[in-house]
Structure 1
């Protein structure tokens, strides 16, 4: 099973220590960390721990975090070799379920601000969900989204995720969305994953 994924516009490669510097820069950016890390600045040690946890998850669960890079166009019009600048991250992680409801598999995504508004988060997330449901066989994937982040709520809805639970009210509130394997596999979505 190959964990390398490709969509029409993105190459997705499992994060590794080669990505450490780019991930640190990405995750410490104020617009990115605002909703992903509750506005806390992650340290280089924390980035290493996240990468190591992702590598363990790929080895044991079949999924983890992918680094997103734009598919460069070659001079002949086709796709060139990957390796461009980091556009963001998408993937899956274990997460303590809302309100003590056990452990969930949660989808995560973040993009560099200059890539916002172009549908790349939804495109990458669809590839991750296709892989998780179709290859790994995960039964349910959840998303915890800050109520102050309507763009991420819109992405969850575009993915066909349904509002699942309400979180605590207030400025730090969250909404929970879920996608079920049986519904995902049975849907008639137009794929943007490249074979």
Structure 2
């Protein structure tokens, strides 16, 4: 099946499918028409798009949203003093999502590789992400670690404030107390 997966940059025609898969995996209110446009725009720098989709037989089976360096907000959930790289050279891996029926085929890793190639062309030397530690079997952290990610810091209740804006966590419902592992990958 691996050879049957088609990877390409995300386009506006993918948004409905991305929202549907994102809602299924991450919960209601995580992604919508308004924020998908903003999130994709943050990944385009110098005509290089760092966000990708994966299709199998015309079905969206995965996507990776990545923000270009200097095009995202370093907020209270970030620890730039621990990154060992100047913040202006750090991209942000916003979201990696793979349909549960297609996990284990390397789709998430390939999406990450494509995004890394793009952000390196944009000038990034590292990428930070917040990984959902309550993912089944902590698979998000395991996957990111396997791809070279290093733990920076753990952040309890990372997504709780999103609940006020309508986010429904697939584990905690409307009062999310899931933790995020802030992790970094250095591009060599």
Q: Same fold (TM over 0.5)?
A: yes
Deviations 1:138-165 (A, max 9, x none): 1220110122121111111111111112
Counterpart position of 2:185: 179
Calculate the TM-score normalised by the size of structure 1. 0.65
Gaps of 5+ in 1: 1-6, 34-38, 73-83, 186-195
Larger Rg: 1
- Is the CA contact (8 Å cut-off) linking 1:23 and 1:47 kept in structure 2? no
Asked if 2 retains the 8 angstrom alpha-carbon contact of 1:143 and 1:156, the reply is no
- Contact 2:45–2:122 under 8 Å retained in 1: no
Equivalent position SS for 2:60: coil
Normalised to the residue count of structure 2, the TM-score between the two structures is: 0.67
Q: CA deviation at 1:95?
A: 4.9
Distance 2:132 2:101 in 1: 21
Indicate whether 1:14 and 2:20 are aligned.
no
Indicate the SS of the match to 1:87.
strand
CA 1:148–1:100 in 2, change beyond 3 Å: closer, same or farther?
closer
Counterpart for residue 85 of structure 1: 59
C-alpha RMSD of matched pairs (Å): 2.9
> 1:45-93 CA deviation, whole Å, 9 max, x = no partner?
x3244135414641557334212123x6xxxxxxxxxxx2111101312
* Alignment pair present for 1:67 and 2:34: no
* Change in CA separation of 1:24 and 1:60 when aligned onto 2, cut-off 3 Å: same
* Aligned twin of 1:193: none
What stretches of structure 2 of length at least 5 have no aligned partner? Answer: 81-86, 158-175
Paired residues, number: 154
Greater than 4 Å deviation, 4+ residue runs = 100-104
Secondary structure of the residue aligned to 1:96 is: coil
Equivalent residues of 2:5, 2:54 under 8 A apart: yes
Contact map agreement 1:11 1:69 (CA 8 A) in 2: yes
Superposed displacement of residue 118, structure 1: 2.1
